[in-house]
Amino acid sequence: MAFRWPQFFHKLGSPRWFYRIGGLWLPWLAGIAACFLVIGAIWGLAFAPEDFKQGNSYRIIFVHVPSAFIALAGYYVMATAGAISLIWKMKLADIALKCAAPIGAAMTVLALISGATWGKPTWGTWWVWDARNTSMLVLLFLYLGIYALYNAFEREEQAARICAVLALVGTVNIPIIYKSVDWWFTLHQPATIKLTEPTTMHASMWQPLLLMIVGFYVLYTTLLIERIRVEILVRERRTRWVQDIVLASGA
For the chain, 251 residues long, give each residue's pLDDT as a single digit of tens.
Answer: 455 656 666 666 788 999 999 999 999 999 999 999 999 999 999 999 888 778 888 899 999 999 999 999 999 999 999 999 999 888 899 999 999 999 999 999 999 999 999 888 878 888 888 888 999 999 999 999 999 999 898 888 899 999 999 999 999 999 999 888 777 777 676 666 665 566 667 788 889 999 999 999 999 999 999 999 999 999 999 999 988 888 887 65
Please say whether the dihedral angle defined by the alpha carbons of residues 204, 191, 173 and 130, taken in this order, is positive or negative.
positive
Residue 14 covered by a domain: no
Residue 15 covered by a domain: no
Residue 171 covered by a domain: yes
Total Cβ atoms within 10 A of residue 108: 26
Residue 166 covered by a domain: yes
Contacts of 243 (CB under 8 A, 6+ apart): 237
Predicted local confidence at residue 94, as pLDDT:
93
Residues 233 and 34: their CA atoms lie apart, in Å, by 26
Domain range for 31 is: 20-189+206-241
Residue 141 covered by a domain: yes
Residue 9 covered by a domain: no
Count of domains in the chain? Answer: 1
Alpha carbon 203 to chain centroid distance?
26
Residues 8 and 5: their CA atoms lie apart, in Å, by 5
Residue 3 covered by a domain: no
Predicted TM-score of the model (pTM): 0.91
Predicted local confidence at residue 1, as pLDDT:
47
Are 68 and 74 spatial neighbours (Cβ–Cβ below 8 Å)? no
Torsion angle of the four alpha carbons 178, 184, 189, 195, in this order, in degrees rounded to the nearest 10: 40
Burial of 112 by CB count in 10 Å (0-12 exposed, 13-18 middle, 19+ buried)?
buried
Integer angstrom CA distances of residue 98 from 27, 29, 141, 224: 23, 21, 15, 10
Predicted local confidence at residue 245, as pLDDT:
87
Predicted local confidence at residue 184, as pLDDT:
74
Predicted local confidence at residue 181, as pLDDT:
77
Residue 122 covered by a domain: yes
Total Cβ atoms within 10 A of residue 245: 17
